[in-house]
A and B are shown apart, each in its own frame.
Chain A
Amino acid sequence: MMEIKLVKNILDANDRLAEDNKKAFEAAGTTVINMIGSPGSGKTSLILRTIEKLKDKCGIQVIEGDIASSIDAQTIAGKGIDALQINTEGECHLDANMIRQAVRSFELKPGLLFIENVGNLVCPAEFEIGEDFKVTVLSVPEGHDKPYKYPLVFSKSTAVVLTKCDLMPYIDFEMDTFISGIRSLNPNCRLFVVSSKTGEGIDEWASWLEGLRRR
């Protein structure tokens, strides 16, 4: 018997493909945001609101990841935005290879590319896809305890967007506990509190995104 020392990241193959994707995005001048959140957290609504705010200021493209259906991509395309649907056929997350295959048939443009991951707070956190940064989207009804229950995604996100804040009066959402959890995992993380329904907080979020865009 012999021992072979490795110390090799198990997702190394994925990470290498993600690096390739990143180079392609950089070359095209595309800033890529990996949007991660539970089903129904309001990721698509947030993207639609953001499109309204930013479409006259910078290029916007969207890739929608779902297990099945192309409802989300159709909704986005209906706004006159380039949208591509990826169906993962059962996989609970997007990986770098899926993105690589998808962008072959998609002309990357300078500006922002939102990649809406499969609705799930667990698995997408583990797989790099070549994004510039991750954003966790969490809605008020999901509860303030989520950073404690799903720490990985919060620890890896550059920003957290708390959506559906118009529901705050009806839900026992402890904002201090929520913020404290995020701060412990990720002290430099930005937090935006928004409502895609009323438009509250959308301006601040949109201008932050605009500032991060590659120029």
Chain B
Amino acid sequence: MHELSVTESLLDMSVEEAEKAGAAHIDEIKIVIGDLTGISEECVRFYFDIISEGTIAEHARLSFKRMPAVFRCSSCGHVFERERLAFSCPVCGSPGVLIDSGKELYIEGIEVSYDGDKTG
């Protein structure tokens, strides 16, 4: 639901970094999203197309890497990704504890091109 704020921030940061590097255009933005954040990729793409218009990020590709929420079983130690509506261990059924958060929300990197580049 808060994808607009996220997308605005994403665009601002990418443009700032690309300009710092003297680039003419942003070709791709690589985004890492944890499963627990509930950010919808479709929604980010939708907003991005609108708000990037007329910026050096216009038509940039957005690539998303999803990071799962990872739990460790409190009883047998088995490490697993969450089931839809349960955090219990698929091996022994004991409750798992969130270890590898799945709360990620960051830009891994951007691909940029310079004036005279044929690509992008």
Task: Given contacts A3-B110, A95-B5, A149-B85, list 16 more A-B pairs with CB under 8 A.
Answer: A1-B119, A3-B111, A5-B108, A6-B108, A9-B106, A11-B6, A12-B9, A13-B9, A13-B12, A14-B9, A120-B1, A126-B105, A127-B2, A152-B103, A156-B103, A185-B98
Contact B112 A8, beta carbon cutoff 8 Å? no
Are B109 and A5 in contact, with the CB atoms below 8 A? yes
Contact in complex: A8, B2 (CB < 8 Å): no
8 closest Cβ contacts across the A-B interface? A123-B2, A184-B87, A5-B109, A152-B36, A6-B107, A92-B1, A148-B85, A9-B106
Given known pairs A4-B17, A4-B112, the reply for A122 and B2 (CB within 8 Å) is: yes
What does DSSP make chain A's interface, helix, strand, loop or mixed? mixed
CA gap between A14 and B10 in the complex, in Å: 12
Contact across chains for B18 and A4 when beta carbons are under 8 A apart = yes
Give bound CA distance, A3 to B69, whole Å.
Answer: 28
Pick the residue among B27, B98, B111, B119 that contacts A184 (CB under 8 A). Answer: B98
B residues in contact with A10, CB < 8 Å: 6, 9-10, 13, 31, 105-107
Name the one of B38, B112, B119 contacting A122, with C-beta atoms under 8 angstroms.
B38
Q: Are A184 and B97 in contact (CB under 8 A)?
A: yes
Query: Do the beta carbons of A93 and B36 come within 8 Å of each other?
Result: no
A11 touches B111 (CB 8 A): no
Q: What is the minimal beta-carbon distance from B77 to any residue of chain A, in angstroms?
A: 15
B117 adjacent to chain A (CB < 8 Å): yes
Residues of A within 8 A of B (CB): 1-14, 91-93, 95, 120, 122-123, 126-127, 145, 148-152, 155-156, 180-181, 183-187
Distance (whole angstroms) from the CB of A182 to the closest CB of chain B: 10
Taking CB atoms and an 8 Å cut-off, the chain B residues in 34-65 that contact chain A are: 36-38
Does A1 lie within 8 Å of B120, measured CB to CB? yes
Contacts A1-B117, A92-B1, A151-B69 hold; do A7 and B109 have CB atoms under 8 A apart? Answer: yes
A181 to B99, CA, bound (A): 14
Q: Which range holds the interface residue count of chain B?
A: 35 or more
Whole-angstrom CA separation of A183 from B98 in the bound complex: 9
Report the Cα distance A12→B113, complex, angstroms.
25
Q: How far is the CA of A151 from the CA of B13 in the complex (A)?
A: 27
Given A10-B31, A184-B71, A185-B87, does the pair A1, B113 have CB atoms closer than 8 Å? Answer: yes
Contact A1 B98 (CB under 8 A): no
Q: Which residues of chain B are within 8 angstroms of A4 by Cβ–Cβ distance? A: 17-18, 21, 23, 109-112
Sample (15) of A-B pairs whose CB atoms are under 8 Å apart: A1-B113, A4-B109, A4-B112, A6-B13, A6-B17, A7-B107, A9-B106, A10-B105, A12-B13, A122-B1, A148-B84, A151-B82, A152-B37, A152-B38, A152-B103
B108→A7 contact, CB < 8 A? yes
* B75 beta carbon closer than 8 Å to chain A: no
**Which residues of chain A come closer than 8 Å to B21, judged between CB atoms?**
2, 4
Q: Which residues of the partner chain A approach B107 to less than 8 Å between Cβ atoms?
A: 6-8, 10
Q: Is the CB of A11 within 8 A of B114?
A: no
Q: Is the CB of A2 within 8 A of B95?
A: no
